[in-house]
Structure 1
Amino acid sequence: MSQIASYSAQAVLKDGTPVQIRALRASDEADMLAAIERTGPSSLQSRFFVMKRYFSEKERAFFMDVDFSNHVALAALVEEQGRLTIIGGGRYVVTDPGRAEMAFVVVDAWQGRGIGSLLLRHLIDIAQEHGMQELTAEVLSDNAPMRSVFAKSGFKPARSDDPRTVRLTLDLASPRPA
Protein backbone atom coordinates (compact mmCIF):
# COMPACT_ATOMS: atom_id res chain seq x y z
CA MET A 1 0.00 0.00 0.00
CA SER A 2 1.39 3.38 -0.95
CA GLN A 3 1.55 6.68 0.89
CA ILE A 4 -1.75 7.59 -0.81
CA ALA A 5 -3.45 5.42 1.84
CA SER A 6 -2.71 8.18 4.35
CA TYR A 7 -3.55 11.03 1.96
CA SER A 8 -5.37 13.92 3.62
CA ALA A 9 -5.83 17.55 2.67
CA GLN A 10 -7.92 20.42 3.98
CA ALA A 11 -9.81 22.75 1.67
CA VAL A 12 -12.47 25.43 1.89
CA LEU A 13 -15.48 25.64 -0.40
CA LYS A 14 -16.45 28.95 -2.04
CA ASP A 15 -19.06 29.46 0.68
CA GLY A 16 -16.40 29.11 3.42
CA THR A 17 -17.29 25.54 4.45
CA PRO A 18 -14.18 23.60 5.50
CA VAL A 19 -13.87 20.20 3.82
CA GLN A 20 -11.42 17.36 4.30
CA ILE A 21 -10.35 15.32 1.27
CA ARG A 22 -8.76 12.08 2.38
CA ALA A 23 -8.08 8.51 1.37
CA LEU A 24 -11.08 6.22 1.74
CA ARG A 25 -10.55 3.83 4.66
CA ALA A 26 -11.90 0.32 5.23
CA SER A 27 -13.57 1.71 8.36
CA ASP A 28 -15.58 4.14 6.18
CA GLU A 29 -17.99 1.52 4.84
CA ALA A 30 -20.93 2.40 7.12
CA ASP A 31 -20.42 6.14 6.51
CA MET A 32 -20.16 5.57 2.76
CA LEU A 33 -23.42 3.56 2.77
CA ALA A 34 -25.04 6.35 4.81
CA ALA A 35 -23.93 8.86 2.16
CA ILE A 36 -25.48 6.69 -0.55
CA GLU A 37 -28.74 6.66 1.46
CA ARG A 38 -28.68 10.49 1.34
CA THR A 39 -28.14 10.47 -2.42
CA GLY A 40 -31.21 10.61 -4.63
CA PRO A 41 -32.15 8.06 -7.30
CA SER A 42 -31.31 10.34 -10.24
CA SER A 43 -27.86 11.13 -8.78
CA LEU A 44 -27.19 7.42 -8.29
CA GLN A 45 -28.35 6.72 -11.84
CA SER A 46 -25.93 9.40 -13.08
CA ARG A 47 -23.12 7.57 -11.26
CA PHE A 48 -24.03 3.92 -11.94
CA PHE A 49 -26.08 4.34 -15.19
CA VAL A 50 -28.89 2.22 -13.71
CA MET A 51 -31.37 2.74 -10.88
CA LYS A 52 -29.41 1.62 -7.85
CA ARG A 53 -30.42 1.41 -4.21
CA TYR A 54 -28.83 -1.83 -3.09
CA PHE A 55 -25.24 -2.98 -3.39
CA SER A 56 -24.29 -6.65 -3.32
CA GLU A 57 -21.58 -7.88 -0.97
CA LYS A 58 -19.28 -8.20 -4.02
CA GLU A 59 -19.97 -4.58 -5.09
CA ARG A 60 -19.42 -3.28 -1.56
CA ALA A 61 -16.15 -5.20 -1.34
CA PHE A 62 -15.00 -3.68 -4.65
CA PHE A 63 -15.81 -0.13 -3.52
CA MET A 64 -14.05 -0.57 -0.18
CA ASP A 65 -11.08 -2.76 -1.24
CA VAL A 66 -8.85 0.08 -2.35
CA ASP A 67 -5.16 -0.77 -2.84
CA PHE A 68 -4.07 2.84 -3.62
CA SER A 69 -2.06 1.55 -6.54
CA ASN A 70 -4.52 0.23 -9.12
CA HIS A 71 -7.59 1.53 -7.30
CA VAL A 72 -7.44 4.95 -5.62
CA ALA A 73 -10.44 6.35 -3.75
CA LEU A 74 -10.90 9.62 -1.90
CA ALA A 75 -13.71 10.77 0.37
CA ALA A 76 -14.89 14.33 0.98
CA LEU A 77 -15.95 14.99 4.57
CA VAL A 78 -17.53 17.96 6.33
CA GLU A 79 -18.64 18.47 9.88
CA GLU A 80 -22.37 17.88 10.28
CA GLN A 81 -24.04 17.75 13.68
CA GLY A 82 -20.69 17.62 15.46
CA ARG A 83 -19.08 14.79 13.48
CA LEU A 84 -17.22 14.38 10.20
CA THR A 85 -19.59 13.00 7.57
CA ILE A 86 -18.84 11.68 4.08
CA ILE A 87 -20.58 13.88 1.52
CA GLY A 88 -18.89 12.64 -1.63
CA GLY A 89 -16.30 10.38 -3.10
CA GLY A 90 -14.19 9.97 -6.18
CA ARG A 91 -11.98 7.22 -7.46
CA TYR A 92 -9.93 6.01 -10.32
CA VAL A 93 -9.29 2.43 -11.33
CA VAL A 94 -6.36 1.54 -13.56
CA THR A 95 -7.69 -0.10 -16.74
CA ASP A 96 -4.40 -0.41 -18.67
CA PRO A 97 -0.83 0.57 -17.80
CA GLY A 98 -0.79 4.37 -17.51
CA ARG A 99 -4.58 4.68 -17.96
CA ALA A 100 -7.37 4.89 -15.42
CA GLU A 101 -11.12 5.45 -15.39
CA MET A 102 -12.65 7.90 -12.92
CA ALA A 103 -16.02 8.12 -11.21
CA PHE A 104 -17.63 10.40 -8.61
CA VAL A 105 -20.72 10.71 -6.47
CA VAL A 106 -21.78 13.64 -4.29
CA VAL A 107 -24.67 13.64 -1.81
CA ASP A 108 -27.56 15.65 -3.29
CA ALA A 109 -27.55 18.35 -0.59
CA TRP A 110 -23.90 19.12 -1.39
CA GLN A 111 -24.07 19.11 -5.20
CA GLY A 112 -23.20 22.30 -7.05
CA ARG A 113 -20.84 23.50 -4.32
CA GLY A 114 -17.53 22.38 -5.80
CA ILE A 115 -17.11 18.97 -4.11
CA GLY A 116 -16.79 17.09 -7.42
CA SER A 117 -14.26 19.61 -8.76
CA LEU A 118 -12.25 19.39 -5.55
CA LEU A 119 -12.16 15.58 -5.61
CA LEU A 120 -11.25 15.65 -9.31
CA ARG A 121 -8.31 18.04 -8.77
CA HIS A 122 -6.90 15.86 -5.97
CA LEU A 123 -7.29 12.66 -8.03
CA ILE A 124 -5.63 14.25 -11.08
CA ASP A 125 -2.67 15.32 -8.91
CA ILE A 126 -2.35 11.82 -7.42
CA ALA A 127 -2.62 10.20 -10.86
CA GLN A 128 0.11 12.46 -12.26
CA GLU A 129 2.38 11.78 -9.29
CA HIS A 130 1.96 8.04 -9.89
CA GLY A 131 2.71 8.07 -13.59
CA MET A 132 -0.75 7.92 -15.10
CA GLN A 133 -0.75 9.22 -18.67
CA GLU A 134 -4.49 9.36 -19.34
CA LEU A 135 -7.66 9.58 -17.29
CA THR A 136 -11.08 8.77 -18.70
CA ALA A 137 -14.65 9.03 -17.49
CA GLU A 138 -17.97 7.84 -18.87
CA VAL A 139 -20.74 10.37 -18.19
CA LEU A 140 -24.38 10.13 -19.15
CA SER A 141 -25.02 12.47 -22.09
CA ASP A 142 -27.65 14.43 -20.14
CA ASN A 143 -25.43 14.93 -17.05
CA ALA A 144 -24.45 18.50 -17.94
CA PRO A 145 -23.15 19.44 -14.45
CA MET A 146 -20.61 16.59 -14.34
CA ARG A 147 -19.62 17.11 -17.96
CA SER A 148 -18.92 20.75 -17.06
CA VAL A 149 -16.77 19.73 -14.07
CA PHE A 150 -14.65 17.52 -16.32
CA ALA A 151 -14.45 20.14 -19.10
CA LYS A 152 -13.18 22.79 -16.66
CA SER A 153 -10.33 20.43 -15.76
CA GLY A 154 -9.34 19.96 -19.39
CA PHE A 155 -11.12 16.70 -20.24
CA LYS A 156 -12.04 16.37 -23.93
CA PRO A 157 -14.89 14.37 -25.46
CA ALA A 158 -13.90 11.12 -27.18
CA ARG A 159 -15.84 8.38 -28.94
CA SER A 160 -18.04 6.30 -26.63
CA ASP A 161 -19.26 2.77 -27.32
CA ASP A 162 -22.55 3.53 -25.54
CA PRO A 163 -24.86 6.07 -27.22
CA ARG A 164 -26.23 7.12 -23.79
CA THR A 165 -22.81 8.25 -22.59
CA VAL A 166 -20.00 10.62 -23.43
CA ARG A 167 -16.43 9.42 -22.91
CA LEU A 168 -14.19 12.18 -21.62
CA THR A 169 -10.40 11.94 -21.60
CA LEU A 170 -7.58 13.92 -20.07
CA ASP A 171 -4.06 13.59 -21.45
CA LEU A 172 -1.94 14.13 -18.34
CA ALA A 173 1.09 15.05 -20.46
CA SER A 174 -0.77 18.13 -21.75
CA PRO A 175 -0.92 21.38 -19.77
CA ARG A 176 -4.16 21.74 -17.77
CA PRO A 177 -6.32 24.80 -17.28
CA ALA A 178 -5.67 26.55 -13.96
Structure 2
Amino acid sequence: MTTQSLSASFDIGPDTPRWSETLRDGSEVAIRPIRASDGAAERAFIEGLSDQSRRFRFLGQTRHPSDELIRRLTDIDYSRDVAFGAFDGGAEDRLVGVSRYSAASDGAQCECAVTVDDEWQNKGLGTVLMKHLIQVARQRDIHRMHSFDSAENHRMQELAAHLGFVTRTDPDDTSQVIHELTL
Protein backbone atom coordinates (compact mmCIF):
# COMPACT_ATOMS: atom_id res chain seq x y z
CA MET A 1 0.00 0.00 0.00
CA THR A 2 1.32 3.42 -0.96
CA THR A 3 0.00 6.30 1.07
CA GLN A 4 0.48 9.98 0.44
CA SER A 5 -0.20 12.49 3.21
CA LEU A 6 -2.78 15.19 2.60
CA SER A 7 -2.57 18.76 3.74
CA ALA A 8 -5.58 20.48 5.26
CA SER A 9 -6.47 21.68 1.77
CA PHE A 10 -5.44 20.12 -1.50
CA ASP A 11 -5.85 20.96 -5.15
CA ILE A 12 -6.55 18.66 -8.06
CA GLY A 13 -3.34 18.74 -10.05
CA PRO A 14 0.08 17.12 -10.35
CA ASP A 15 0.39 16.79 -6.55
CA THR A 16 -3.07 15.30 -6.16
CA PRO A 17 -3.05 12.57 -3.53
CA ARG A 18 -3.20 9.04 -4.96
CA TRP A 19 -3.03 5.67 -3.32
CA SER A 20 -2.42 2.21 -4.72
CA GLU A 21 -4.20 -0.39 -2.63
CA THR A 22 -4.14 -4.17 -2.68
CA LEU A 23 -7.42 -5.61 -1.40
CA ARG A 24 -8.00 -8.81 0.59
CA ASP A 25 -8.42 -10.93 -2.57
CA GLY A 26 -5.22 -9.56 -4.15
CA SER A 27 -6.98 -7.22 -6.60
CA GLU A 28 -5.57 -3.74 -6.95
CA VAL A 29 -7.18 -0.34 -7.14
CA ALA A 30 -5.93 3.19 -7.60
CA ILE A 31 -7.66 5.75 -5.39
CA ARG A 32 -7.67 9.44 -6.20
CA PRO A 33 -9.96 12.46 -5.92
CA ILE A 34 -12.92 12.48 -8.32
CA ARG A 35 -12.62 15.12 -11.06
CA ALA A 36 -15.22 16.82 -13.24
CA SER A 37 -13.83 14.81 -16.16
CA ASP A 38 -14.96 11.58 -14.43
CA GLY A 39 -18.62 12.11 -15.39
CA ALA A 40 -18.81 9.16 -17.80
CA ALA A 41 -17.13 6.84 -15.28
CA GLU A 42 -19.50 8.02 -12.51
CA ARG A 43 -22.56 7.47 -14.71
CA ALA A 44 -21.38 3.96 -15.71
CA PHE A 45 -20.65 3.19 -12.04
CA ILE A 46 -24.14 4.20 -10.87
CA GLU A 47 -25.90 2.47 -13.76
CA GLY A 48 -23.85 -0.69 -13.12
CA LEU A 49 -24.93 -0.99 -9.49
CA SER A 50 -27.63 -3.48 -8.58
CA ASP A 51 -31.09 -2.07 -7.83
CA GLN A 52 -30.46 -2.72 -4.13
CA SER A 53 -27.07 -0.99 -4.12
CA ARG A 54 -28.53 2.06 -5.90
CA ARG A 55 -31.41 2.14 -3.42
CA PHE A 56 -29.02 1.92 -0.48
CA ARG A 57 -26.78 4.68 -1.88
CA PHE A 58 -29.48 7.13 -2.90
CA LEU A 59 -32.24 5.97 -0.51
CA GLY A 60 -34.39 5.52 -3.60
CA GLN A 61 -34.04 4.39 -7.20
CA THR A 62 -31.71 6.31 -9.49
CA ARG A 63 -31.27 3.91 -12.40
CA HIS A 64 -30.28 6.61 -14.92
CA PRO A 65 -28.77 9.62 -13.13
CA SER A 66 -29.48 13.03 -14.59
CA ASP A 67 -26.72 15.19 -16.02
CA GLU A 68 -27.23 17.53 -13.06
CA LEU A 69 -26.68 14.70 -10.54
CA ILE A 70 -23.53 13.58 -12.36
CA ARG A 71 -22.26 17.17 -12.32
CA ARG A 72 -22.90 17.46 -8.56
CA LEU A 73 -21.10 14.16 -7.93
CA THR A 74 -18.03 14.98 -10.01
CA ASP A 75 -17.57 18.78 -9.93
CA ILE A 76 -16.34 18.92 -6.34
CA ASP A 77 -15.47 22.06 -4.39
CA TYR A 78 -12.47 20.56 -2.62
CA SER A 79 -12.16 23.53 -0.28
CA ARG A 80 -15.02 22.00 1.76
CA ASP A 81 -16.02 18.65 0.22
CA VAL A 82 -14.08 15.53 -0.71
CA ALA A 83 -14.81 12.62 -3.08
CA PHE A 84 -12.44 9.72 -3.71
CA GLY A 85 -12.84 7.22 -6.51
CA ALA A 86 -11.35 3.73 -6.64
CA PHE A 87 -10.40 2.64 -10.15
CA ASP A 88 -9.97 -0.99 -11.18
CA GLY A 89 -6.29 -1.89 -11.32
CA GLY A 90 -5.38 1.72 -11.91
CA ALA A 91 -7.52 2.04 -15.05
CA GLU A 92 -8.79 5.58 -15.17
CA ASP A 93 -12.05 4.60 -16.86
CA ARG A 94 -13.60 1.91 -14.58
CA LEU A 95 -14.80 3.31 -11.29
CA VAL A 96 -15.46 0.53 -8.75
CA GLY A 97 -15.99 2.49 -5.54
CA VAL A 98 -16.57 6.00 -4.23
CA SER A 99 -16.38 7.65 -0.82
CA ARG A 100 -17.31 11.24 -0.22
CA TYR A 101 -18.21 13.78 2.38
CA SER A 102 -19.85 17.16 2.33
CA ALA A 103 -18.97 19.52 5.17
CA ALA A 104 -21.61 21.47 7.03
CA SER A 105 -21.43 25.25 6.92
CA ASP A 106 -19.74 25.30 10.35
CA GLY A 107 -16.92 23.08 9.01
CA ALA A 108 -16.99 20.99 12.20
CA GLN A 109 -19.09 18.13 10.86
CA CYS A 110 -19.84 16.38 7.60
CA GLU A 111 -22.18 13.90 6.00
CA CYS A 112 -20.40 10.97 4.39
CA ALA A 113 -21.23 8.11 2.03
CA VAL A 114 -19.45 5.13 0.52
CA THR A 115 -20.56 2.94 -2.36
CA VAL A 116 -18.81 -0.10 -3.81
CA ASP A 117 -19.61 -1.87 -7.08
CA ASP A 118 -21.44 -5.14 -6.33
CA GLU A 119 -18.63 -7.25 -7.83
CA TRP A 120 -16.08 -5.50 -5.61
CA GLN A 121 -17.91 -5.86 -2.30
CA ASN A 122 -16.49 -8.00 0.54
CA LYS A 123 -12.89 -7.28 -0.51
CA GLY A 124 -12.18 -4.46 1.95
CA LEU A 125 -12.63 -1.64 -0.56
CA GLY A 126 -15.31 0.18 1.47
CA THR A 127 -13.02 0.13 4.50
CA VAL A 128 -10.05 1.46 2.51
CA LEU A 129 -12.12 4.26 0.95
CA MET A 130 -13.59 5.30 4.29
CA LYS A 131 -10.21 5.28 6.05
CA HIS A 132 -8.84 7.76 3.48
CA LEU A 133 -11.95 9.90 3.90
CA ILE A 134 -11.67 9.84 7.71
CA GLN A 135 -7.97 10.78 7.47
CA VAL A 136 -8.77 13.87 5.40
CA ALA A 137 -11.66 14.86 7.66
CA ARG A 138 -9.38 14.70 10.71
CA GLN A 139 -6.70 16.75 8.95
CA ARG A 140 -9.32 19.36 8.15
CA ASP A 141 -10.45 19.58 11.80
CA ILE A 142 -13.85 18.03 11.20
CA HIS A 143 -15.05 16.72 14.56
CA ARG A 144 -17.96 14.51 13.55
CA MET A 145 -18.96 12.44 10.52
CA HIS A 146 -22.44 11.06 10.01
CA SER A 147 -24.26 9.01 7.43
CA PHE A 148 -27.96 8.34 6.83
CA ASP A 149 -28.59 4.80 5.60
CA SER A 150 -31.37 2.31 5.12
CA ALA A 151 -31.91 0.17 8.22
CA GLU A 152 -31.84 -2.79 5.79
CA ASN A 153 -28.25 -2.03 4.72
CA HIS A 154 -26.52 -4.54 7.00
CA ARG A 155 -23.18 -4.31 5.17
CA MET A 156 -23.02 -0.60 5.90
CA GLN A 157 -23.90 -1.25 9.54
CA GLU A 158 -21.03 -3.77 9.75
CA LEU A 159 -18.61 -1.34 8.09
CA ALA A 160 -19.70 1.51 10.35
CA ALA A 161 -19.24 -0.62 13.48
CA HIS A 162 -15.82 -1.79 12.25
CA LEU A 163 -14.72 1.84 11.79
CA GLY A 164 -16.02 2.93 15.22
CA PHE A 165 -19.24 4.67 14.18
CA VAL A 166 -22.13 4.59 16.66
CA THR A 167 -25.46 3.65 15.06
CA ARG A 168 -28.93 4.74 16.11
CA THR A 169 -32.37 4.73 14.53
CA ASP A 170 -33.25 7.96 12.73
CA PRO A 171 -35.91 9.61 14.95
CA ASP A 172 -37.56 11.15 11.87
CA ASP A 173 -37.67 7.95 9.79
CA THR A 174 -37.52 4.53 11.46
CA SER A 175 -36.66 2.89 8.10
CA GLN A 176 -33.27 4.65 8.32
CA VAL A 177 -30.32 4.65 10.69
CA ILE A 178 -27.75 7.31 11.47
CA HIS A 179 -24.10 6.31 11.81
CA GLU A 180 -21.95 8.84 13.71
CA LEU A 181 -18.21 8.98 14.26
CA THR A 182 -16.50 11.42 16.59
CA LEU A 183 -13.07 12.29 15.20
TM-score in terms of structure 2 length:
0.87
2:55 to 45, 61, 64: 45
What is the distance in 2 between the residues matched to 1:45 and 1:141?
12
What is the distance in 1 between the residues matched to 2:68 and 2:87?
25
1:87 is aligned to 96
Q: Relative to structure 2, which stretch is displaced further, 90-99 or 120-129?
A: 90-99
| 2:10 corresponds to 1:3 | yes
Q: Give the counterpart letter for 1:147 in structure 2.
A: Q
Q: Give the counterpart letter for 2:114 in structure 1.
A: F
Aligned residue pairs total: 171
2:133 is aligned to 123
- Paired residues of 1:4 and 1:23 also in contact (CA < 8 A): no
For 1:57-136, what aligned pairs fall within 5 Å after superposition?
Answer: 57-79=67-89, 85-97=94-106, 98-136=108-146
Look up the SS of the partner of 2:79 in the other structure. Answer: coil
1:104 Cα deviation after fit: 1.5
- Deviations along 1:28-65, one digit per CA (max 9) or x if unpaired, are 11111111122111100011111111222322221112
- Paired residues of 2:83 and 2:100 also in contact (CA < 8 A): yes
CA RMSD in angstroms comes to 1.9
1:72 Cα deviation after fit: 0.6
Q: Relative to structure 2, which stretch is displaced further, 105-114 or 124-133?
A: 105-114
Give runs of ≥4 in structure 1 deviating > 6 Å. none
TM-score in terms of structure 1 length:
0.89
> Where does structure 2 lack aligned partners over 5 or more consecutive residues?
1-8
> Where does structure 1 lack aligned partners over 5 or more consecutive residues?
173-178
Look up the SS of the partner of 2:141 in the other structure. Answer: coil
Q: Which has the higher strand share?
A: 1
Look up the SS of the partner of 2:89 in the other structure. Answer: strand
Q: Percent sequence identity over matched residues?
A: 31
